Amino acid sequence: MSSDNLMTLNLKIWRQQNSKDSGKIQDYVLEGVSPDSSFLEMLDQLNEKLIAEGIDPVSFDHDCREGICGMCSLMINGQAHGPERETTTCQLHMRKFNDGDTVVIEPFRARAFPVLKDLMVDRGAFDEIIAAGGFTNVNTGNAPDANSILIPQSDAELAMDAAACIGCGACVASCKNASAMLFVSAKVSQLALLPQGQVEADQRVQNMVAKMDELGFGNCTNEAECEASCPKGISISNIARMNRDYLSAAVKSKAEPKA
């Protein structure tokens, strides 16, 4: 590629030493950015420059860089994962930006996601919600013969769609209430839609919702920002399903005779 295509960007990046520091936006000018580089490669390029200048590099989360693990985050110009729909930060390319652009980069913000350093937040609250019920204890034995458990095609597809959630937290970061309902409902639905998930379904939904509330996530007020910002296109219909399952489980547990 000719060097004519390289861009200069004005970066405004949130810098915060630790969770106690108040933090502030710092300005950086980065020259020579290839439109073919990914957003994280652009940050790598910035960090190489900062290290060469003896400046502390910018901390940010990443792992697979393939849109699979859910580790990358970042609010880019006010949008979780940036301007491209259904795309994680690691899969976003700099060709989405123009030479001379100002790009504001901040961490995912929510009370339940405290900033650890710069652009890195602690999303351990999601792990706690999964530990509260996002699994099945049923012993399913060896792999069953194909078609020995018949599952309607529509249910199988809905379960697979819900299972696409990578737990990145964009739904929380983009919701004005910092609600985790899209994440929790996807994790509930991927099990509730399948026969193997039925055994503990009532307990699971009640435990996961209780843990979500306990950890300080807000309530859902049907803004649908979560769905719009989700890099995996998780549908808010999962929230409606979880609300129905929760209500049904709560009514059943109240109706059960006390020992």
Binding stretches for ligand FES (CB under 6 A): 62-65, 67-72, 88, 90, 166
> What's the CA gap between 145 and 147, in Å, rounded?
6
Q: For residues 82 and 218, which CB has a smaller minimum distance to ligand FES in the complex? A: 82
Q: For residues 46 and 90, which CB has a smaller minimum distance to ligand FES in the complex? A: 90
Cβ 167 to ligand FES shortest distance, Å:
10
CA torsion, ordered 149, 152, 158, 162, to nearest 10 deg: -10
Cβ 98 to ligand FES shortest distance, Å:
23
Closest CA to 59 of 92, 14, 124, 103: 14
Q: For residues 218 and 231, which CB has a smaller minimum distance to ligand FES in the complex? A: 231
> What's the CA gap between 120 and 248, in Å, rounded?
38
Q: For residues 70 and 133, which CB has a smaller minimum distance to ligand FES in the complex? A: 70
Q: For residues 6 and 96, which CB has a smaller minimum distance to ligand FES in the complex? A: 96
Closest CA to 170 of 104, 81, 101, 95: 81
Q: Which one-letter amino acid corresponds to residue 244?
A: R
Q: Coil, strand, or helix at residue 195? A: helix
Alpha-carbon torsion (113, 181, 138, 152), positive or negative: negative
Cβ 64 to ligand FES shortest distance, Å:
4
| Residue 104 near residue 45, CB atoms below 8 Å | no
Cβ 88 to ligand FES shortest distance, Å:
4
Cβ 168 to ligand FES shortest distance, Å:
7
Closest CA to 249 of 202, 204, 213: 202
Q: For residues 167 and 218, which CB has a smaller minimum distance to ligand FES in the complex? A: 167
Cβ 33 to ligand FES shortest distance, Å:
19
